[in-house]
A and B are shown apart, each in its own frame.
Chain A
Amino acid sequence: MRRELHAEWTKLRTVAAPGWLLLAVVALTAAASAGVAATVTCPPAGCAYDVPKLGLVGVQLGQAVVAILAVLVIGGEYGTGMIRTTLTAMPRRAAVLAAKAAVLTGATLAAGTAAVLASMLAGRLILPGNGFVPAPGQALLSLGDGPTLRAAAGSVLYLALVALLGLGVATAVRESAVAIGVVLGLLYLFPIVIGMFADEGWRHLLYAIGPSTAGLTVQVTTGLRELPIGPWTGLGVLAAWAAGALLCGGLMLRARDA
């Protein structure tokens, strides 16, 4: 397994695209969070915004870049034919996929942490100027606050799980363009489809099984009781999606010709 890990790490490190994409995760997440923070105002009478969720809204854009990175990690190899060399050199296919997953998770966790911290910092600097007042006894968007810490740490894990979902789908589909379409479709369409249904039962069901809707529940700090799923359970749903995709991809990688 060490050999596989080393090989995958070398591939990720020596190609230009992953480095740029990881930078883009940080930059886009922070920029989107800052942009939203700059457009919101809180009137003196008070407002009902969920501040940690608002401060981390950039994750919804950053996840798209994470998905590209994840799809490219294996889809790029299929595109160039490199996959044949890889599988010749390392015939244990499950180990190759596991190594890819491990390297990808590590890289995403690092970039995700930077992105989330940058978003929180942006929110902390911008939001007070727009009328947001911290609750007495604590700073705005402070990591010392339990739910805020959960939202921040959960967002980093969320990005890592999105990466694993992308890797699994791309391994199963092999064609990068289709894989990215499927992943982004899964991530972005559930909220739209939920909006179509007036029936509360359907809405709750779709919310609880959608990878992005359930997963992003980890960012919610107010009104959790109105949601059909808890923050960590929600992240668990996304984890189940990622595990399912990886399992499918792994089995197909073993069974199929490269």
Chain B
Amino acid sequence: MTVTAPYRSALPAGRDGITRTLRAEWTKFRTVRGWMITTVAAALVTMLLGLLFAVGSRTSCSVGPVEVACPAVPLGPGGEAVQDRFFFANQTLTGDGSITARVTSMTGVITYPPPDHDKLVSGLVPWAKAGIMIKASAAPGSSYAAVTLTGRHGVRMQDDFTHDTAGRPGGVTAAAPRWLRLTRSGGTLTGYESPDGTRWTEIGTARPAALPATVRAGLFVTSPSDMTVKANTMGGSIVQARFTQASAVFDRVEVRGRASGAWRGDDVGDDGGKTDWERYHRPSGLLQAGGTLTVTGSGDIAPSRDGVRVESTLTGVVLGLILVIVVAVMFVTAEYRRGLIRTTLLAEPRRGRVLAAKAAVAGAVAFVTGLTAGAVAVPLSVAVLRAGGNHVLPVSPLTEVRVVAGVAALFAATAVLAVALGALYRRSVAAVTTGIVLLVVPYVIATASVLPDAASEWLTRLSPAAGFAILQSIPEYAHVTGHYTPSDGYYPLAPWAGMAVLCLYAALALGLAVTRLRRRDA
């Protein structure tokens, strides 16, 4: 009887680990020429659409027929673009001190509001402001803190454009005047209000960024435009703004500390333009009669939203995402179509690991693609836009980095979602369509159609399109009148929260795909 030893391969055993699976998947991806080309195309279209938009946008300003440089937009202490226009009756104040005033009346006019746009209506817009202020100088954009009565939001304390604290609600009448007080102690300003000038309530404190030793302290009045929004039949909306003006009567005004004593009037941020109302009926200014000061003004003290937002150079991202979806889906479905999946699962029987490796490779490739596209498109397009005379709303470098990284994150999360969909459906058409319907369609419908605002907001809250919030560079301010909808670039969720919604969808889909892959026959 002969005994034959079983055959043993002389080859060393193959090493086993996630890196092997990753390498195998990366090789599969890398060696299909069409996928690499499409991936590069995804980056290119993102950049090119941004550049196309930048090159096609030009802004010029003219006085009569003569073209002139556009006036510089003031920047607030935080570097953000601001509107800083109001009438300021002020004294200089050196060192610590305080200003106290009683407001006995606040009235205003709104020119030609709807429905017929044919009347001058007396009334106040919700964020008309009349109050007391301590400001670094009369230059627009300089640091300040103010305690102010508003048209419909009661007493507020605001500082440096972006901060707003609510005080007691309600308006003012001659029978129920409102007392306001602002005290300076070093770099800290404290706001108070009182119904009678004896019982004072603290509203809050503020530490404006840059207050010199000598500041302006005084009374101010301003009134932002009255705004209505009309849906545009071609998608988006048309915002209509109308001139308004407010007047307030102050008495018992008292400036304590080393003050100059005499009142001077500054039309802060005045650009020389005057409406017919200001020319023929009531100019902005200060009227003094005994101890009573009447201040009239128009404008706003708030972060500005007029200008091109940084992320508007990223419209091409949607097109890039469609390409990412197609490639990532085919990365999985092509294996089913060609039967390669059986080989893949023989080589690596841990099916969850196979799908995880696929998601990781597709996600990483998409991340790098998105990062490249964003890092080129954003700075380049912004530079081209600025060269074309456009006012691009300035953002902090950190925000710009977040927007660029946001493109990468959007691409990566979308690729993972698409890989999962491909594994769930095994058919390219159904998977690609589901990907597009989940991500691109809600975005398009919410931002570029005539969908009502409420529906748009729910779409960008609940659907994976919430992830686009990560590209929003200008935050929404509750104390600034504006049309805050996804079509204006304002998402209902915070940037990272929106991104988290998209990631949640991707994670859920991937989890589901792993369970299905484990249970089903390949």
Contacts and interface: CB of A to CB of B under 8 A. Distances in A.
A146 interface: no
A60 B323 contact: no
A254 to B, nearest CB: 24
Contact of B318 (A39, A61, A189): A189
- The DSSP consensus for interface residues of chain A is helix
A172 to B, nearest CB: 15
Given A184-B433, A203-B234, A176 B449 contact: no
A226 B230 contact: no
Q: Which of A54, A192, A193, A226 has the most CB of B within 10 A?
A: A192
Given A61-B437, A192-B447, A184 B233 contact: no
Size bracket, chain A contacts: 35 or more
A46 B335 CA distance: 56
Contacts of A220: 233
Given A191-B449, A195-B448, A207-B234, A185 B319 contact: yes
Contact of A202 (B56, B319, B487): B56
Contacts of A75: 429
B428 interface: yes
B452 A40 contact: yes
A39 B315 contact: no
Given A181-B432, A189-B318, A223-B233, A36 B451 contact: yes
A49 B231 contact: yes
A168 to B, nearest CB: 16
A214 B322 CA distance: 22
A181 B326 contact: yes
A157 B436 CA distance: 23
B235 A194 contact: yes
Given A177-B326, A178-B326, A64 B235 contact: no
Interface string B442-473: 01110111111011001000000000000000
A40 B322 CA distance: 30
B352 interface: no
A41 B447 contact: no
B50 to A, nearest CB: 9
A41 B233 contact: no
Nearest to A60: B445
A72 B429 contact: yes
B210 to A, nearest CB: 35
Contact of A193 (B315, B450, B451): B315
A25 to B, nearest CB: 12
10 contacts: A36-B452, A39-B452, A39-B458, A40-B455, A72-B429, A177-B431, A188-B440, A192-B448, A195-B236, A196-B312
Interface of A: 35-36, 39-41, 48-50, 53-54, 57, 60-61, 64-65, 67-68, 71-72, 75-76, 79, 175-181, 184-185, 188-189, 191-199, 202-203, 207, 213, 220, 222-224, 226-227
Interface of B: 49, 52-53, 56-57, 230-231, 233-236, 312, 315, 318-319, 322-323, 325-326, 329-330, 333, 337, 427-433, 436-437, 440-441, 443-445, 447-452, 454-455, 458, 487
Given A177-B326, A180-B436, A181-B325, 19 more contacts: A35-B455, A40-B452, A57-B449, A61-B445, A64-B436, A64-B437, A75-B429, A177-B428, A178-B326, A181-B322, A181-B326, A181-B436, A189-B322, A191-B235, A192-B318, A195-B236, A195-B315, A196-B56, A198-B57
